[in-house]
């Protein structure tokens, strides 16, 4: 079928469904965008039944303008809007006539439309467009009452259709609830949270679902079960036709056997359901079978089955007239005796609770005792039946009873305009808000707690950083809030920022398609992934090189990830990243080794933990995890201390050089036409109507189409600038120690002790009380990956890191006591380790959020921003996977405003460099014959030649400083730490760029090494 034919069928179907939902279509206008120039419209008719083929027209922009000015303006103003429905339906027109906004009185309206359906003058196209940016619909007021009504928009026709239904239902419920004493309005915060939840997750389900078939089931499905599944599909479609449910809302279940029920799935339109989409759920555990998730209200269904063995079918609907009672918090007392008998008496009221919450199940169970139906406050209806037919009949009986009662009352008392809103006090805050407030008041009365835009916000000032961090931790409630915004200040602390000294206009007026902020491993990986497309990509990094944030100061372990929660973003991206690393390293010529990870056990009973982790690994898709007894473990780690009884071996652990990887990603991105601007800091952003319009930097103003926030420890500040902050970074520093390569033999993988194990040194410092001792023992390991000793990719041993909370986001100082502490602790495992083996130490700062998870997401309040925030460990491992997903989102988002095609010249392979220390003698000789510079060894510790340094100076991301060369080739990273090679490298840079030696810098513009020449440098 051609696109036009498909669109025409969809439009006709939509008109049919609107008609059956009693939405009047006289003078309505429906239009669909086929392309930016072509639209399919159903032009206005006198009466809903009048549509024939003359009324469907393919129009160009001029034609659309002639047909309907408002629809034309809406399509032009918002590229994401692909469907517009203008109606003059009864209740929306009446609400418009009253001149009042409609507040959220029902969950479904709050979720799909938001806090309020606003009213706007039909002639004020600019205001209508503005309203439609933050909402999917609004009421239209006009002096000509025939023109009053509503407009609904959507990214597709289905979405605009649902919004039309819900607006009419919301208007009817709000107006008619007045007959019952008035509607109780949902709390604005709660409505906002529901709306955000819908926008972020639920709205995406329907489009992304792939239906199940018989092949998806590992067990045979009996004819009886298949029949029940089919009956559920038919019933769902009947309920949709009868307007008892709208869109994907509502749900049905049927008891399959003693242990199981069959439920409708979550987020799939009833019109598209198949019998195999029904989900079998265990009534007592709620575990479900198959790929497709069951309804979010499964707990409610299960609770009713457990309490009422005689119930065999449960239907949860959102019928219009019952919803009037739900909004007014009133019982339905059927006046018609037949309906009353069918329902078994009055329809009770279940107290309000958040949809899908345990509390809602409890409230419904409490409301349904001898009766068989209840209204759920501000939500909908639940009925229980002995059979499917019985439950269906009860649904219809409840809706008819509600309709009859409302008709009877309205005959006695005319419907008046609703009074201004009465906030429902019982649902003012999220359930845990009071608890959080109480705990934080106990911690410090100087901290205030509020709920803002779906987040918990802390403000105030205290004298110690530990209190700030503790308050943030106490405020975490991942279930109910988007995140913690902790703006509590620390008295007398001012963040000192490293900022570039350069100020110029070199980027002023640039309009990149994508602006990436931050040149750590995440930003560089995103730039490379995006360079697969024909996009203008600009990465800005405030420092003088890439990989100078956390990416330049970490252990380089490519983690296995068995310790992460399966619900976390860390787990998802780590798993995918780990799988990508080997191939990616080959493409970019970056050293990588899958040397495994080992968790050591000190007592035999710790095997229990290994056993649990092994099972977990299996469910996570991590292969090869096993327990090895001491003898077997010695094959991998021959230098284990005597007290180790065995350990968990995880073969998929790897090791890389993180800054080499970031540089390689950046170079490959540049090779594929991305641009990188170093010493460029983002200092501000201008946003309008939830859209970043300008970005201020020290090199001028930029006008990007899309902004990607990969700013490490400053990611929350960038999110704030972009008007889209829902998280806070609390910096956590970690120090690592590097040993000489001579000590590298002591460990072959990345190795740490199990979190249960207590080493002799720890034992002496722990409290005597066994319980406290256990708690303290765990506390030390809670926020690190538990790695203690790492065999680095270059053969040294890395020891650490520790984890210390700090207010300073750039606190990379190392402390004598900490280094000694780390060393002493790890000497218990690496028993041959001596202080003289240590050649250097460094500190990196982790960008931890209070939720202790990554924040990788599209903007919530801003439509052209994507965040890669909170990327603490395992950020090195996860970076390639984060980048792949963000690139996908970027392409989707940009495709609304431009044509994004593949970059035909994309080459994933970075040109390999000569590495003298990895060549055999004959290869070295051949290279030196071709270019004698490769024969001049500059760094003896790491065997680096002058030729390689010149190659690095000629590379596409050349950073001609001592540290720039050190990060690319390692001169200065060996035993002598640059004592021998630093002057030689400086001389090569000066000679290559024909600059005085004193102009060569260590790293940034200000890091002068030499002030004047005292004697010649011989090369």
Footprint on this chain of ligand FAD (rule: CB under 6 A): 517-523, 540-543, 548-551, 553-557, 559, 681-682, 710-712, 714, 734, 736, 801, 844-846, 871-877
How many Cβ atoms sit within 10 Å of the Cβ of residue 222?
10
Distance in Å, CB of 664 to ligand FAD, minimum:
14
Q: Which is nearer to ligand FAD, 111 or 544 (CB)?
A: 544
Nearer Cβ to ligand FAD (546/602): 546
Of 465 and 842, nearer to ligand FAD (C-beta) is 842
Tokens representing 597 are 């990870």
Q: Tell me the closest approach of the beta carbon of residue 559 to ligand FAD, in angstroms.
A: 5
Minimum CB–partner distance for residue 806 and ligand FAD (Å): 11
CB of 200 to ligand FAD, least distance (A): 22
CB of 225 vs ligand FAD, minimal distance in Å = 46
Residue 627 dihedral angles phi and psi, to the nearest 5°: -90, 130
- Closer CB to ligand FAD, 87 or 585, in the complex: 585
Q: Using the minimum distance from each CB to ligand FAD, give the nearer residue, 106 or 702.
A: 702
CB of residue 553 vs ligand FAD: minimum separation in angstroms?
Answer: 6
- Three-state secondary structure call for residue 878: helix
Residue with token string 């707990």: 299
Ranges of beta strands (E only) in 661-778 are 675-677, 682-687, 692-697, 700-702, 706-709, 729-739, 750-753
Cα dihedral across residues 508, 513, 516, 517: positive or negative: positive
Q: Work out how close the CB of 842 gets to ligand FAD at its nearest, in angstroms, rounded to a whole number.
A: 8
Question: For residues 842 and 861, which CB has a smaller minimum distance to ligand FAD in the complex?
Answer: 842
Measured CA to CA, the distance from residue 785 to residue 768 in angstroms comes to 27
By C-beta, is 374 or 799 nearer to ligand FAD? 799
Q: How far apart, in whole angstroms, are the C-alpha atoms of residue 416 and residue 173? A: 13
Cis amide linkage into residue 386, ω under 30° from 0: no
H or E element at residue 484: strand 484-490
Position closest to ligand FAD via CB = 875
Shortest CB 162 distance to ligand FAD, Å: 38
- How many other CB atoms sit within 10 Å of the CB of residue 1000? 21
Residue among 482, 536, 490, 471 at smallest CA distance from 510: 536
Nearest distance, CB of residue 745 and ligand FAD, angstroms: 20
| H-type alpha helices, 99-150 | 107-112, 125-134
Q: How do strand 789-791 and strand 797-799 relate by DSSP bridges?
A: antiparallel
Nearest residue (CB) to ligand FAD, 410 versus 565: 565
In the complex, the smallest distance separating the C-beta of residue 554 from ligand FAD, rounded to whole angstroms, is 3
The nearer residue to ligand FAD, 279 or 799, going by C-beta atoms, is 799
DSSP code string of 20-89 = HTT---BT-EEEEESSSS-EEEE--BSSGGG--GGGEEEE-HHHHHHH-HHHHHHHHH-TT--EEEEE--
Q: CB of 545: closest distance to ligand FAD in angstroms?
A: 9
> What is the rounded CA–CA span in Å between residue 581 and residue 407?
67
CB of residue 840 to ligand FAD, shortest distance in Å: 14
3-state secondary structure of 365: helix
Cα end-to-end distance, the chain, whole Å: 74
Nearer to ligand FAD, 382 or 557 (CB): 557
DSSP secondary structure code for residue 2 in this structure: -
Peptide bond preceding 502 in cis form (omega within 30 of 0)? no
Is the Cβ of residue 533 or residue 714 nearer to ligand FAD in the bound state?
A: 714
Greatest alpha-carbon span in the chain: 110
Nearer CB in complex with ligand FAD: 845/893:
845
List, as one string, the DSSP characters of 962-999.
HHHHHHHH-TTSSTTTTTTTHHHHHHHHHHHHT--GGG
Integer Cα distance of 60 and 896 in angstroms = 19
C-beta of 331 vs 576, nearer to ligand FAD: 576
Q: How far is the CB of 457 from ligand FAD (least distance, A)?
A: 23
Shortest reach from residue 652's CB to ligand FAD, in Å: 13
Element (H, E) at 375: strand 373-376
Buried b (16+ CB within 10 A) or exposed e, 351-385: bbbbbebeebbbbbbebbeebbbbbbbbbbbbbbb
User: Which of helix, strand or coil describes residue 739?
Assistant: strand
- The minimum distance between CB 791 and ligand FAD, in angstroms, equals 12
CB 658 within 8 Å of CB 554: yes
- Which CB atom, from 118 or from 846, has the smaller least distance to ligand FAD? 846
Smallest separation (angstroms) from ligand FAD to the CB of 406: 57
Nearest approach, Cβ of residue 591 and ligand FAD (Å):
15
Of 371, 363, 387, 266, whose CA–CA distance to 315 is shortest?
Answer: 387
Residue 751 has a CB neighbour count (10 Å cut-off) of: 29
Alpha carbon 343 to chain centroid, angstroms: 44
How far apart are CB 877 and ligand FAD at their closest, in Å? 4
Range list of β-strands (E), 256-362: 260-263, 279-282, 313-317, 348-350
Q: Is the dihedral of CA 942, 943, 946, 949 positive or negative?
A: negative
Cβ closer to ligand FAD: 460 or 577?
A: 577
Please, which residue, 213 or 683, has the CB nearer to ligand FAD? 683
Nearer to ligand FAD, 84 or 661 (CB): 661
Half-sphere exposure (Cβ direction) of 626: Cα atoms closer than 13 Å: 9
17 vs 559, beta carbon nearer ligand FAD: 559
**Which of 899, 881, 643 shows the shortest CA–CA distance to 760?**
643
């Amino acid at each position: 079928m051609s696109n036009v034919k498909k669109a025409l069928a969809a439009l006709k179907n939509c008109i049919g469904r609107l008609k059956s939902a009693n939405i009047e279509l006289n003078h309505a206008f429906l239009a669909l965008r086929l392309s930016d120039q072509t639209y399919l419209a159903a032009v206005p008719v006198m009466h809903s039944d009048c549509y024939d083929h003359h009324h469907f027209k393919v129009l160009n922009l001029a034609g659309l303008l002639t047909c309907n000015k408002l629809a034309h303006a809406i399509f032009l103003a918002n590229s994401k809007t692909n469907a517009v429905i203008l109606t003059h339906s009864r209740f929306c027109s009446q609400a418009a006539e009253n001149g009042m906004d409609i507040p959220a009185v029902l969950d479904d309206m709050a979720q799909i439309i938001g806090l309020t359906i606003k009213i706007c003058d039909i002639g004020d196209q600019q205001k209508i467009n503005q309203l439609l940016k933050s909402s999917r619909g609004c009421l239209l007021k006009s002096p000509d009452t025939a023109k009053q009504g509503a407009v609904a928009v959507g990214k597709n026709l289905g979405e605009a259709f649902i919004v039309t239904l819900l607006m009419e239902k919301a208007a009817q419920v709000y107006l008619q609830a007045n007959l019952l004493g008035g509607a109780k309005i949902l709390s604005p915060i709660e409505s906002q949270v529901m709306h955000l939840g819908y926008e972020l997750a639920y709205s995406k389900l329907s489009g992304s679902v792939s239906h199940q078939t018989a092949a998806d089931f590992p067990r045979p499905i009996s004819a009886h079960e298949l029949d029940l599944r089919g009956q559920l599909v038919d019933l769902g479609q009947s309920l949709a036709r009868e307007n008892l449910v709208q869109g994907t809302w509502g749900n049905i279940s049927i008891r399959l056997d003693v242990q199981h029920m069959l439920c409708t799935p979550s987020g799939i339109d009833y019109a598209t359901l198949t019998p195999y989409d029904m989900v079998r759920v265990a009534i007592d555990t709620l575990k479900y079978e198959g790929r497709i998730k069951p309804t979010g209200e499964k707990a409610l269904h299960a609770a009713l089955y457990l309490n009422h063995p005689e119930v065999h079918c449960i239907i949860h609907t959102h019928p219009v007239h019952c919803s009037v009672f739900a909004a007014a918090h009133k019982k339905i007392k059927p006046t018609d005796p037949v309906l009353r008998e069918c329902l078994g008496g009055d329809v009770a009221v279940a107290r309000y609770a958040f949809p899908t919450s345990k509390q809602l199940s409890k409230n419904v169970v409490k409301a349904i005792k001898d009766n068989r139906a209840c209204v759920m406050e501000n939500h909908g209806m639940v009925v229980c039946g002995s059979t499917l037919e019985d439950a269906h009949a009860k649904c219809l009986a409840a809706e008819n009873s509600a309709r009859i009662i409302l008709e009877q009352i309205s005959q006695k008392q005319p419907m008046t305009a609703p009074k201004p809103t009465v906030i429902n006090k019982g649902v003012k805050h999220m359930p845990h808000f009071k608890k959080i407030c109480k705990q934080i008041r106990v911690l410090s009365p100087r901290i205030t707690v509020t709920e803002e835009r779906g987040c918990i916000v802390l403000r105030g000032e205290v004298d110690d950083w530990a209190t700030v961090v503790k308050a943030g931790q106490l405020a975490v409630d991942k279930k109910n809030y988007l995140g913690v915004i902790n703006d509590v200040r620390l008295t007398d602390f001012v963040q000192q920022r490293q900022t570039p000294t350069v100020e110029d206009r070199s980027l002023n007026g640039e309009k990149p398609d994508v602006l990436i902020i931050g040149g750590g491993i995440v930003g560089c990986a995103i730039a490379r992934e995006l360079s697969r497309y024909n996009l203008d990509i600009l990465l800005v990094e405030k420092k003088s090189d890439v990989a100078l944030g956390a990416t330049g100061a970490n252990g380089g372990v490519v983690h296995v990830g068995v310790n992460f929660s399966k619900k976390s973003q860390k787990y998802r991206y780590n798993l995918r990243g780990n799988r990508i690393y080997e191939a990616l390293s080959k493409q970019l010529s970056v050293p990588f080794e899958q040397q495994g990870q080992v968790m050591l056990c000190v007592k035999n009973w710790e095997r229990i933990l290994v056993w649990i982790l092994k099972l977990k690994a299996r469910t996570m898709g991590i292969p090869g995890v096993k327990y090895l007894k001491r003898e077997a473990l010695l094959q991998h780690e021959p230098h284990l201390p005597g007290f180790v009884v065995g350990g968990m071996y995880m073969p998929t652990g790897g090791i890389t050089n993180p800054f080499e990887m970031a540089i390689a990603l950046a170079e490959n991105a540049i090779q594929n036409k991305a641009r990188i601007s170093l010493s460029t800091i983002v200092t501000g952003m201008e946003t309008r109507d939830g859209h970043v319009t300008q970005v201020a930097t020290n090199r001028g103003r930029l006008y990007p189409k899309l902004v990607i926030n990969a700013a490490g420890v400053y990611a929350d500040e960038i999110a704030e600038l972009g008007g889209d902050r829902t998280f806070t970074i609390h910096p956590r520093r970690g120090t690592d120690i590097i040993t000489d390569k001579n000590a590298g033999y002591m460990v072959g993988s990345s190795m740490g002790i199990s979190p249960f194990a207590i080493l002799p040194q720890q034992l002496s410092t722990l409290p005597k009380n066994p319980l406290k001792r256990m708690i303290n023992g765990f506390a030390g390991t809670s926020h690190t990956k538990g790695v203690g000793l790492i065999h680095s990719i270059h053969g040294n041993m890395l020891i650490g890191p520790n984890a210390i909370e700090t207010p300073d986001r750039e606190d990379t100082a190392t402390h004598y006591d900490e280094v000694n502490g780390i060393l002493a602790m790890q000497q218990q495992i690496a028993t041959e380790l001596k202080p003289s083996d240590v050649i250097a130490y460094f500190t990196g700062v982790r960008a931890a959020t209070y939720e202790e998870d990554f924040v990788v997401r599209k903007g919530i309040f801003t439509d052209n921003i994507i965040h890669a925030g909170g990327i603490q460990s395992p950020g090195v491992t996860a970076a390639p996977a984060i980048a792949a997903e963000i690139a996908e989102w970027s392409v989707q988002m940009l495709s609304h405003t431009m044509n994004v095609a593949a970059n035909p010249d994309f080459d994933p392979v970075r040109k390999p460099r000569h590495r003298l220390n990895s060549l055999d003698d004959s290869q070295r000789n051949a290279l030196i014959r071709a270019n004698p510079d490769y024969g001049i060894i500059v760094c003896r510790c790491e065997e680096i030649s002058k030729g390689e340094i010149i190659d690095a100076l000629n590379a596409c991301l050349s950073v001609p400083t001592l540290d720039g060369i050190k990060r690319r080739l390692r001169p200065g990273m060996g035993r002598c730490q640059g004592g021998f090679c630093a002057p030689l490298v400086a001389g090569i840079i000066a000679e290559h760029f024909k600059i005085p030696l004193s102009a060569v810098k260590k790293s940034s513009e200000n890091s002068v090494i030499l002030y004047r020449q005292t004697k010649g440098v011989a090369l």
